[in-house]
Amino acid sequence: MGRTVVALLLAGFYVGLCERCPIIIGGFECPEGYKCVDNQCFSSSGQLATSDCTAVSCPSMTRCFKGRCYSTVGLTCNRNVFVSNSTAKSILSECGNKGKCVNGRCVEDRCMGVSCKETELCRDGLCTQLAGTFCFSHFDCGPALECIANRCTVIAVPIDCNCDPGEVCQQGKCIPDSSNSCLCFICNMYADEGACVSVIGRDCSQDPCEGGTICVQGRCSLDPCLNRCPVDHGCRFGECRHLQGILCDNHCPHPYECIDGRCTRNDCAHKVCQLGETCENGFCIKVEERFCTLAIRDCGEHFECDLNKCRDKLQIA
């Protein structure tokens, strides 16, 4: 009893901190302003933490469950479930300020919020220099650099501006468009001094390309990626590569997520399962009656752990 009193007094010096409970090997953290004493969370005044998550505050990358804070990494997340023959319910989970839900579990994206130089790309939370590194493909250089002569190279991006009708953008400034005296409806054509001419081969170091063309090494060229690559592949300058594992900067095409600087497929995106099931790695898995000790880790969203068995709290509408 005396040890408990002393621990409660010491807790007052650490009100602003969070710690695991039980200390070191605990499965959860105490809410902010509480300390772990005899496997329970107490305030500096000796008050036991409430089980009401709306009355406590948890640190980032944790999720509150029954008044305690659990690390989000590895917790079950998101759920799409049929509640009738024609209706599905979508449940979104909290994975933390750096977390994303991938394949039914929260993962940490260590690159979220990390700002790198234009010559760098975030990998595993750190900015990695790419400019000047050896490459075989444009994909080896990330989304912003190109592979030229087997070296990742920064390509000058044309200066953009928002111009009114009748104006054109040149070197970041809007000027009257004296050449646009005709309308060109043919693909890959543009107006030049009243005549419609091909945009292919036009200098694009300052002005954007038009008519379905892209800027390649300073000249407008036909986009070689149009309808070229199969599903789950990205395309750069006519080269196809599977999206899984390619370098990314915050964004990947659906249903991929950018995690730690690489695209990772989320096979559970929009996967709809039946009652009693959750999506795990793209498959609807029966969770009802699965052995559990913690619902948010062992069962799923809107499940409870009753007598060590998962029970779905959702019902048919």
Average pLDDT in the 124-134 region?
A: 97
- How would you classify residue 124: left for phi > 0, otherwise alpha for psi between -120 and 50, otherwise beta? left
Does the pLDDT of residue 8 top 50, yes or no? Answer: no
278-315 per-position pLDDT tens digit = 999 999 999 999 999 999 999 999 999 999 999 999 98
Q: How confident is the model at residue 140 (pLDDT cuts 50, 70, 90)?
A: very high
Among the ranges given (66-80, 86-100, 180-194), the one the predictor scored with the smallest mean pLDDT: 180-194
Q: How confident is the model at residue 248 (pLDDT cuts 50, 70, 90)?
A: very high
Average pLDDT in the 24-40 region?
A: 86
Contacts (Cβ under 8 Å, ≥6 apart) of 239:
137, 138, 139
pLDDT at position 18 is 61
Does the pLDDT of residue 2 top 60, yes or no? Answer: no
Contact indicator for 122, 296 with CB cutoff of 8 Å: no
Q: Which residue has the higher pLDDT, 163 or 278?
A: 278
pLDDT at position 155 is 80
Cβ neighbours around 301 below 10 Å, total: 22
Contact indicator for 91, 84 with CB cutoff of 8 Å: no
pLDDT at position 9 is 38
Q: How confident is the model at residue 194 (pLDDT cuts 50, 70, 90)?
A: low
Residues in the chain: 317
pLDDT at position 177 is 60
pLDDT at position 73 is 95
Contact indicator for 137, 143 with CB cutoff of 8 Å: no
Q: How confident is the model at residue 166 (pLDDT cuts 50, 70, 90)?
A: low
Inter-CA distances, 191 with 175, 197, 216, Å: 16, 6, 21
Among the ranges given (105-114, 154-163, 179-188), the one the predictor scored with the smallest mean pLDDT: 179-188
Most distant pair of Cα atoms in the chain: their distance = 94
Q: How confident is the model at residue 156 (pLDDT cuts 50, 70, 90)?
A: low
pLDDT at position 170 is 55
Q: How confident is the model at residue 168 (pLDDT cuts 50, 70, 90)?
A: low
DSSP secondary structure string for all residues of 27-49? SEEPPTT-EEETTEEE-TTSPBP
Q: Please, what sign has the CA dihedral across residues 95, 310, 271, 86?
A: negative
Q: How confident is the model at residue 175 (pLDDT cuts 50, 70, 90)?
A: low
pLDDT at position 224 is 80
Does the pLDDT of residue 3 top 60, yes or no? Answer: no
With a pLDDT cut of 70, the percent of the chain lying above it is: 79
Average pLDDT, the chain: 84
Q: Which residue has the higher pLDDT, 80 or 215?
A: 80
Does the pLDDT of residue 190 top 90, yes or no? Answer: no
Beta strands in 158-217 (DSSP E): 167-170, 173-176, 189-192, 195-198, 213-216
Buried-state track 187-210, b at ≥16 Cβ within 10 A, e below 16: ebbbbbeeeeebbeebebeebebb
